[in-house]
Structure 1
Amino acid sequence: MVKATVLRSFWLVIGLLSLMLGVIGIFLPLLPTTPFVLLSAFCFSKSSTRLHNWLLNHHLFGHLISDWDKYGVIRLKVKIIATSSMLLLVSYPLVFLSFATWLKAIVGVTIACVLLFIWTRPSQPRIN
């Protein structure tokens, strides 16, 4: 009984931290929102039925989770919004602010990797 409670608490804390990072990722281009929200859904499924259902029915995150869970897709609209916001929010600091070139390179490579992941996922469910 104690072990189950500790395990549920662990999953709950990881789920809440992941959701917090996902929400922050809406505003920060280097933090992708979708993977953190998906991790939250997984963690909540192990810890809290109430939070899991809340997340699945959330007007902003619910469709991301169901699209990924059912079909493994990231919709085109989500890809465009993610790409636009990342490029918009990163361009100014990379172009106009002065900081170490190696740091700019890390930011550029990170953005490129995230975008590569996003754009290599299917945009529509495969109909068999």
Structure 2
Amino acid sequence: MPPARRLASPLWTLAGVIALALGLIGIVLPLMPTTVFLLLAGFCFTKGSPRLRRWLETHPRLGPPVLAWEQTGAIARRHKRLAVAMMAATFALCAALGLPLWVLGLQAACLLGAGTYVWTRPDT
């Protein structure tokens, strides 16, 4: 096996563990995304650790959103509402802090695009 191939698996596993940790932090921190990091962890574990991938897939709380996304691109309606609400809250906070209009405009465009993408995904 080439040296680069031997290093790939541990690096993918490490990246997956870091993504999983960030996702778990996102459960308790309101502005930190959870599902995005769980999806990234699943991708990394697929390349680095089949055992951790199986653990993530079969976890009663973390597995269903990952599997729903991978199988159908679906997001639970409750999660959609929460994501869009957090985007609106973030924008409101930035506006209350008095950020320049050009920053708010750029942020509004990005959040509108992200919110539209999230809301147009199928429901689980």
Provide TM-score, normalisation by structure 2: 0.77
- The match for 1:14 is 15
**Bigger CA drift: 91-100 or 73-82?**
91-100
- The match for 2:5 is 4
How many residue pairs align between the two structures? 122
Could you report, residue by residue, the CA deviation over 1:13-36 in whole angstroms, capped at 9, with x for unpaired residues?
Answer: 33234334444555364x643333
Shift of 1:63: 1.1
- The match for 1:100 is 100
Q: Is the 8 A contact 2:91 2:107 kept in 1?
A: no
Q: Which runs of 5+ in 2 are unaligned?
A: none
- The match for 2:64 is 63
> 1 CA distance for matches of 2:66 and 2:73?
9
- The match for 1:112 is 112
Q: 1:103 to 1:87 in 2, by over 3 A?
A: same
Q: 1:123 to 1:21 in 2, by over 3 A?
A: same
Q: 1:34 to 1:57 in 2, by over 3 A?
A: same
* One-letter identity of the residue aligned with 1:48: S
Higher relative contact order (CA 8 A, sep 6+): 1
Could you report, residue by residue, the CA deviation over 1:85-106 in whole angstroms, capped at 9, with x for unpaired residues?
Answer: 3323x14422311222222223
Identical columns (%): 31
Q: Is the 8 A contact 2:91 2:104 kept in 1?
A: no
* One-letter identity of the residue aligned with 2:7: V
> What's the RMSD between the two structures over aligned residues?
2.4
Could you report, residue by residue, the CA deviation over 1:69-113 in whole angstroms, capped at 9, with x for unpaired residues?
Answer: 22221121221122223323x144223112222222232222212
Q: Which runs of 5+ in 1 are unaligned?
A: none
